[in-house]
Amino acid sequence: MDQEQLKGLLEQVRSGSVDIDVAMERMRHLPFEDLGFAKVDHHRALRHGMPEVIFGKGKTPHQVVEVAKALASRASNLLVTRATQEIADAMMAAFPEAESFPASGAIRLWRDRTSRGRGKIAVVCAGTSDLPVAEEAQITCEVMGNEVDTIHDIGVAGIHRLMSNRLRLSEAKAIVVCAGMEGALPSAVGGLVSCPVIAVPTSIGYGASFNGLAALLGMLNSCASNVSVVNIDNGFGAGYVASLINRG
C-alpha cells in the first residue's frame, strides 16, 4: 500500500464507503514507509550533497558498476570505497569522468563540486604508511563539499613538525587524524586545537600493534577531551563525520 492506496482509503472514508474504525484498523497495519516516510532518506541525500556510497569490498566489478549506474542516475556525486583494481577498471570504463585512487582503493564521481562547509577540514597523518587511510578521508571530505588541508608525516616522536603546523591546524573546523602504531597523534593534535578531532587508528605496525588495536585503544584513552574515534582504517567514516561537523 502506497500513497495512492492511502489516498484511496481516505477517499473511501470521505465517501462513507469505509467505516472510520475499519480505516483505523487498516492503517495500523500499513507498512509505514509507504506513507511517505521513505522520502526522508531522499531529502537527506539531497541535503548532504552525497547521495550514496558503495562499499566495494566483497562485491564483484559487475555488481559495483550496476549499483553505481543506478545511483549515478539520480545523484551528482558517488564514492566507491575499498575497490579492487578489477572494480576500479570496470568503474573507469563505465564512468570515464570518474577518478581512481589506487592507494586507498577509492573511486570518485565528483560532478557537483559545490563548497558546502563553513571552513576547512584538516586531514593529518602520522607516517607515510598511513597515507592510504588519510587519502580515503580526504576524498570523502572533498566529495561532500569541503575544502581539505592535508598535513602528512607528523609523528609524535618528531614533535617539532607537529608544532610547526600549529597554525594550520588551528584554522580547521574539524581535523581527521590518522595514525597507526601507538596512535598518540590525536592526543597531541587535540591538545593544540579547540575544534573536534576525529581519530582514525590505522592497521599500520607489527607485533603488538595487533593490526591497529594498540592505536585504537590509545585513541579511546586520549587525554584530550575533543577526540572521538572511528573504526580501524575507517578513513571514510572519519571524513564523513568531519564533513557533517564542518557543514554545521
Eight-class DSSP state of 213: H
Q: Which residue, 26 or 111, is less far from a second copy as judged by CB?
A: 26
From the CB of residue 176, how many other CB atoms can be counted at a distance below 10 Å?
Answer: 35
Smaller CB distance to a second copy: residue 40 or 97? Answer: 40
CB of 126 to a second copy, least distance (A): 7
CB of 52 vs a second copy, minimal distance in Å: 11
User: E-strand spans in the chain?
Assistant: 52-55, 77-81, 99-101, 106-110, 120-125, 147-151, 172-179, 197-201, 227-229
> Distance of alpha carbon 5 from its chain centroid, rounded?
37
- Alpha-carbon distance of 43 to 47, in angstroms, equals 6
**Minimum distance from residue 169 beta carbon to a second copy (Å):** 11
All residues at 6 or more sequence positions from 7 whose CB lies less than 8 Å from its CB, including other chains: none
Closer to a second copy by Cβ: residue 73 or 194: 194
Give min distance, CB of 211 to a second copy, in A.
Answer: 8
Which CB sits closer to a second copy, 148 or 176? 176
